[in-house]
């Protein structure tokens, strides 16, 4: 255990937890918008995978990571629109249509990869950005302020989302549409427009999450996300539809994962218990919620398609 409490290891563990949290955070922030307005999108992982491939491929071809991110955004928006079309306009059963999108993304990203690339080929990654001043703080600077740019973007989106959801007119519309679409409709809010917007934002952030994952890893492979999109959805519930709570969930999941990896590496967790230890992030996430026992109510109209005058 003593090997764990060394400067290098402690710093690395915290930094690793933050990195692991980033794709989860991006995707679940996006999902938060949709769910607050009453739409459950179970297809996040499929959108992430396609965003990941798109971002990866763009960087592979051009070497420009920002273009990669942009492609991820574009793919995310397109698939977000498609998801909105399915669940808002066509009013499909949301739990199921998302599974279709997931399967489509899982297959299509792999197919695209096999046809256009073939073998995993490394690409350039996001540049690291040391925040001036802050990155020089001993310990803390290295843990928090020496990351790739996308990390700051992801965490920056937390206060931004809090502001949007809680303090803007658009946010008020989102919340009212999610709680009581009939009332919102009678006040002249277009339920469909608001939901299209939130689901598209959700898709966009899922696409960004995927592209960020691929570009941060510098590689693509079949099923790159390994179901992180589903974890991200779970974290929305963990965070009780609040950006800050979602961030807490993503960090908890990331940190426990990082801690387990570090403990395994140092032999604190014996090799033969590796799989049992790998359960820890999932179990602890559930337990944390039980212990905290917050009973936030979900948006009343979640998963319920809206029909005017129904």
Binding mask 131-160 for other proteins (x = CB under 8 A): ------------------------------
Count, residues in the chain: 310
Cβ proximity to other proteins: between 2 and 169 the closer is 2
Structure tokens at 293: 């026992």
CA distance 196 to 83: 9
Binding mask 77-106 for other proteins (x = CB under 8 A): -xx-xx--xx--xxxxx-xxx-xxxxxxxx
Structure tokens at 10: 């402690």
Among 67, 70, 112, 153, binds other proteins (CB under 8 A): 112
Q: Is 257 in the site for other proteins (CB under 8 A)?
A: yes
Cβ proximity to other proteins: between 152 and 230 the closer is 230
CA distance 56 to 124: 9
Q: How far is the CB of 139 from other proteins (least distance, A)?
A: 13
Q: How far is the CB of 188 from other proteins (least distance, A)?
A: 19
Cβ proximity to other proteins: between 46 and 55 the closer is 46
Q: How far is the CB of 35 from other proteins (least distance, A)?
A: 10
Cβ proximity to other proteins: between 135 and 298 the closer is 298
Give the residue among 140, 174, 151 at the shortest CA–CA distance from 242: 174
Could you tell me if 25 and 248 are in contact, meaning their C-beta atoms sit under 8 angstroms apart? no
Among 151, 250, 258, 301, binds other proteins (CB under 8 A): 258
Q: Is 73 in the site for other proteins (CB under 8 A)?
A: no
Among 132, 133, 267, 309, binds other proteins (CB under 8 A): 267
Contact positions with other proteins (CB under 8 A) in 19-48 = 19-20, 23, 42, 46
Binding mask 192-211 for other proteins (x = CB under 8 A): --------------------
Contact positions with other proteins (CB under 8 A) in 159-188 = none
Q: Is 115 in the site for other proteins (CB under 8 A)?
A: yes
Give the residue among 265, 262, 261, 256 at the shortest CA–CA distance from 283: 256
CA distance 272 to 23: 29
Q: How far is the CB of 142 from other proteins (least distance, A)?
A: 11
Measure CA 123 to chain center. 22
Q: How far is the CB of 168 from other proteins (least distance, A)?
A: 27
Q: How far is the CB of 135 from other proteins (least distance, A)?
A: 18
How far apart, in Å, do the first and last CA atoms of the chain sit? Answer: 62
Q: How many other C-beta atoms lie within 10 A of the C-beta of residue 127?
A: 10
Q: Please give the backbone phi and psi of residue 73, each rounded to the nearest 5 degrees, phi first.
A: -60, -50
Q: How far is the CB of 163 from other proteins (least distance, A)?
A: 25
CA distance 111 to 220: 12
Count of positions on this chain that bind other proteins (CB under 8 A):
98
Among 64, 114, 168, 186, binds other proteins (CB under 8 A): 114
CA distance 157 to 27: 11
Cβ proximity to other proteins: between 111 and 168 the closer is 111
CA distance 301 to 170: 17
* Helices marked H in the chain: 7-36, 44-62, 65-84, 94-116, 140-144, 149-167, 169-179, 181-186, 191-217, 228-238, 243-265, 274-278, 280-292
């Amino acid at each position: 255990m003593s090997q764990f409490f060394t400067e290098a290891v402690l710093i690395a563990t915290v930094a690793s937890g933050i990195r692991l949290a980033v794709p989860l955070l991006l995707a679940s922030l996006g999902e938060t918008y949709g769910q607050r307005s009453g739409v459950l999108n179970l297809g996040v992982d499929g959108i992430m995978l396609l965003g990941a491939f798109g971002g990866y491929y763009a960087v592979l071809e051009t070497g420009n990571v920002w273009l990669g991110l942009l492609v991820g955004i574009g793919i995310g928006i397109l698939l977000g629109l498609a998801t909105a079309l399915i669940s808002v306009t066509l009013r499909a059963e949301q739990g199921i249509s998302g599974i279709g999108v997931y399967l489509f993304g899982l297959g299509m990203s792999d197919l695209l990869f096999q046809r256009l690339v073939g073998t995993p080929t490394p690409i350039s990654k996001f540049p690291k950005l040391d925040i001036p001043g802050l990155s020089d703080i001993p310990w803390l600077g290295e843990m928090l302020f020496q990351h790739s740019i996308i990390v700051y973007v992801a965490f920056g989106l937390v206060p931004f989302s809090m502001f949007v959801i809680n303090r803007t007119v658009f946010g008020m519309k989102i919340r009212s549409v999610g709680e009581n679409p009939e009332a919102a409709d009678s006040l002249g809010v277009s339920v469909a427009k608001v939901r299209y917007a939130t689901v598209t934002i959700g898709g966009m952030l899922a696409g960004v999450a995927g592209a960020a994952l691929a570009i941060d890893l510098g590689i693509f492979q079949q099923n790159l996300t390994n179901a992180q999109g589903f974890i991200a959805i779970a974290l929305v519930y963990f965070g009780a539809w609040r950006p800050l709570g979602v961030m807490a969930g993503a960090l908890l999941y990331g940190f426990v994962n990082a801690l387990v990896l570090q403990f395994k590496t140092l032999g604190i967790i014996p090799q033969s218990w590796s799989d049992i230890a790998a359960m820890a992030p999932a179990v602890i996430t559930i337990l944390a919620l039980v212990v905290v026992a917050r009973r936030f109510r979900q948006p009343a109209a979640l998963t319920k398609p809206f029909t005017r005058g129904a």
